[in-house]
Structure 1
């Protein structure tokens, strides 16, 4: 099928002009106009004709087209109803693409995708990146791999290690669910309109089992949130946000073998697991 490549600047401009479209800032829309970036995202997703891939926010079909050309079955969920007739036209002839109108935060993803396992590829709106990723991860979906375009600073926080300035609750959470790595950077010039930030494509391989043993997952994330509730605050103070006294916090840290003068940004996933697993021994 000899279709125009949407990721070309002149083709995207033609589509926007034809349908009288402008990027909706409220929805964080920036249209990708770089063929090489599309190819690299598709390659990072490691798609085969046997795969099913969920795309979040297909826009005018730029990445969707690249995903479809891999031969995989593509299910694309689009929130902006203005774009549905555009997608009908730009993706005409790709029989392996199904467009679903809806909000990815509200649709039944497993039922919508309809495959026993699937991958995810997305150029995510930057204002809602984290809620979308956690919506996908927390549901324990049969998702093998997540490849997403995000703001560079967010990608750096996702892969950050303990002790660095970028390490925080997002780092711990993403690394608990997945093995994340930054695949490559994307400059503002790759989009129209050009955003005022650099972007990065991150690849998150879903972990089949968590990297640490914990007694209570909800408690684990509550501990993480408390530890990072006030940046650069000693744990003996920060952990009082768990609703405990200073004395209880001190006893808890001692039981877990962690220096109370340490700060949340120095704790590894194993440290957080140790805290979680002995919380109930201290707080009764």
Structure 2
């Protein structure tokens, strides 16, 4: 299907059902077959694969992945689009449409109910910008057996996911995602290939889930707390931001001693630490008897 045809079909379906897209849902439908192909290729699908799609819209990506995968389950939050999708895919026994919010549906139940026979499960999504981070975090924290997550997101967010230490884009989300997955920018996508056209460009990003986290930590919740605290006040040194946002019960000298013990200079900023250094810092804090401080 050509890009012009997808655009015409998208506008035609919306018009025939008198559907006005909702800004509150961040609805921007991809209409470029070349980009759709890149998403499918990045997902590395096989005929034995299962695909969990988030935000199918009117099914352009759904159709592309259903041509390959054994099973596709698409979660759509907009109840107006669900009957349209079910009609469009009524002759596709390998496609299931579920109405729901990807932040609230029982992902475990969906996996158990619909993907029992598949060899690998992949996630594809054209994510609304306003829920990008919460959905990514939920997918990774679920620890469900996803092979990879291929997502269309705002280009700025994609750059944050892939960012390295000591760069402007590097932040707590970068560390969190890279702890669980290897991140790769697959393609940059201009705004004109969407209906309606968003105000910013997008990017396709692939998260390849690690079999084990990138670094070993004994206390994962503390690890994430350390990351949040380190980036809470980017302009401040680690000594000051950790003292203010995580270790306020300690004196600054005690916090400085922890940093030195972790082989981290207290005057460094959080944005300069890599995952291994965050893990080392977490371990020192974890083994410090804070109750006696």
Q: What TM-score results when the alignment is normalised by the length of structure 2?
A: 0.93
1:219 corresponding residue in structure 2: 222
Q: Deviation per CA, 1:214-273: give whole Å up to 9, x if none.
A: 111000000000000101210110101113331221111011110000000000001100
Distance in 1 between the 2:198 and 2:23 partners?
10
Q: Deviation per CA, 1:159-209: give whole Å up to 9, x if none.
A: 000011110101100000000110001100110111010100000000111
Mean alpha-carbon deviation: is it higher for 208-217 or for 259-268? 208-217
Q: Is 1:47–1:72's contact at 8 Å kept on the other side of the alignment?
A: no
Q: Does 1:264 align with 2:267?
A: no
CA RMSD of aligned residues (A): 1.6
Q: Does 1:13 align with 2:17?
A: no
Structure 1 unaligned runs (5+)? none
Q: Is 1:7–1:32's contact at 8 Å kept on the other side of the alignment?
A: no
Alpha-carbon deviation of 1:35? 1.1
1:79 corresponding residue in structure 2: 77
Distance in 2 between the 1:164 and 1:195 partners?
26
- Give secondary structure in 1 for the equivalent of 2:227: helix
Q: Does 1:143 align with 2:146?
A: yes
Alpha-carbon deviation of 1:281? 3.6
- Give secondary structure in 2 for the equivalent of 1:16: helix
Mean alpha-carbon deviation: is it higher for 37-46 or for 107-116? 107-116
- In the TM superposition, 1:1-284 aligns within 5 A as 8-114=6-112, 115=115, 117-240=120-243, 241-244=245-248, 245-282=251-288, 283-284=290-291
Alpha-carbon deviation of 1:89? 2.2
- Give secondary structure in 2 for the equivalent of 1:228: helix
Q: Is 1:7–1:38's contact at 8 Å kept on the other side of the alignment?
A: no
Structure 2 unaligned runs (5+)? none
Q: Is 2:146–2:209's contact at 8 Å kept on the other side of the alignment?
A: yes
Distance in 2 between the 1:190 and 1:174 partners?
27
Alpha-carbon deviation of 1:113? 2.7
Distance in 1 between the 2:272 and 2:5 partners?
42
Distance in 2 between the 1:201 and 1:183 partners?
5
Give the direction of change, closer, same or farther, for the CA distance of 1:82–1:257 in structure 2 (3 Å limit). same
Question: How many pairs align?
Answer: 282
Mean alpha-carbon deviation: is it higher for 210-219 or for 256-265? 210-219
Distance in 2 between the 1:4 and 1:68 partners?
17
Give the direction of change, closer, same or farther, for the CA distance of 1:221–1:150 in structure 2 (3 Å limit). same
Distance in 1 between the 2:96 and 2:187 partners?
28
- Give secondary structure in 1 for the equivalent of 2:148: strand
- Give secondary structure in 2 for the equivalent of 1:66: helix
Distance in 2 between the 1:255 and 1:7 partners?
62
Alpha-carbon deviation of 1:23? 1.6
